[in-house]
Amino acid sequence: MEALLREMESYAQENHVPIINEGARDAFCRIVCEERPHRVLELGTAIGYSALLMAGKGAEDIEIVSLELNEARAAKAREFIRRSSYKDRIQVLSGDAAELLGSLHGSFDFVFMDAAKGQYPRYFRQILPLLEKRAVILADNVLFRGYVLSKERPPRRFRTIAKRLREYIRVVQDTPGFTTEILQEGDGLAVSRRNGT
C-alpha cells in the first residue's frame, strides 16, 4: 500500500493532478483515524489518493463512494484502486458531484469535500439528508490561499470562490447540531461535527 501511495504521489506530481496538500495530510489522516468512519462520501476523487488514505485509516468495514467530474482521472483512480486491497470497498462514480448527489441514497458518517470550491455551500445543502445523526464533514481548501479570512480583497479571478467559501463556513457554523473547527494546515480544513441531534 505504501509503495502504491508513493507511486500515486509521483504520478500526481508529473501529471499536475491536485491531491491533498502535503501540509494538510497529517491533519487529514489524524482526523480519519480518530473518526474511524464506516460509510464515506468523497466529492472530488482525482486519482483516488485520498480515498485510499481514508480506506487504510477508517473502520475495517469501510465503504467509500467517491465522485469525480473528470472521466480520465476517474478511470486512473479505478486503475490505482484495483491494484489495492480496497478494490471492493471504493466505488468511483464519474460525473458532476452536484448532479450525482441528487441520485445518491444511504447514509454516510464521514464526508470529504474536495471538488469544486465554489459549490461547497450547495454541496452542504445536498449532503445534509444523506448524513447520519453523528457524522463529520471535512472540507478542504476552505481558507483558499489565505483569501477567505483576509481583510484584503482577493484578485478578481478568486473573488467568487473566496465569497462562496466564506458562505460555506458561515452556513456550517450557523447550522444547528453542528460544531465547526477551522484548521490552518495546508490550505485550510473545516471540520464540522454533527453531534447526533
Ligand X SMILES: C[S@@+](CC[C@H](N)C(=O)[O-])C[C@H]1O[C@@H](n2cnc3c(N)ncnc32)[C@H](O)[C@@H]1O
- Strands of the 189-195 sheet, one edge to the other: 90-94, 63-68, 39-43, 108-113, 131-140, 189-195, 178-183
Q: Which residue's CB is nearer to ligand X, number 46 or number 131?
A: 46
**Beta carbon of residue 55, minimum distance to ligand X (angstroms, whole number):** 12
Please say which residue, 109 or 187, places its beta carbon nearer to ligand X: 187
Nearer to ligand X, 95 or 177 (CB): 95
Contacting residues toward ligand X, per CB under 6 A = 18-20, 44, 46, 49-50, 67-70, 73, 96-97, 114-116
CB 39 within 8 A of CB 15: no
189 neighbors 183 (Cβ within 8 angstroms): yes
Nearer Cβ to ligand X, position 130 or 177? 130
CA distance 92 to 63: 11
Residues 111 and 22: their CA atoms lie apart, in Å, by: 20
Backbone dihedral angles phi then psi of residue 60, each to the nearest 5 degrees: -60, -35
Which residue lies nearer to ligand X by CB, 66 or 180? 66
List CB contacts of 64: < 8 A, sequence separation 6 or more.
40, 41, 42, 51, 54, 55, 58, 86, 89, 90, 91
CB of 177 to ligand X, least distance (A): 26
CB of 191 to ligand X, least distance (A): 16
Least separation in angstroms between residue 98's CB and ligand X is 6
Cβ 68 vs Cβ 57: under 8 Å: no
Closest residue to ligand X in the complex (CB) = 44
Name the minimum Å distance from CB 134 to ligand X. Answer: 23
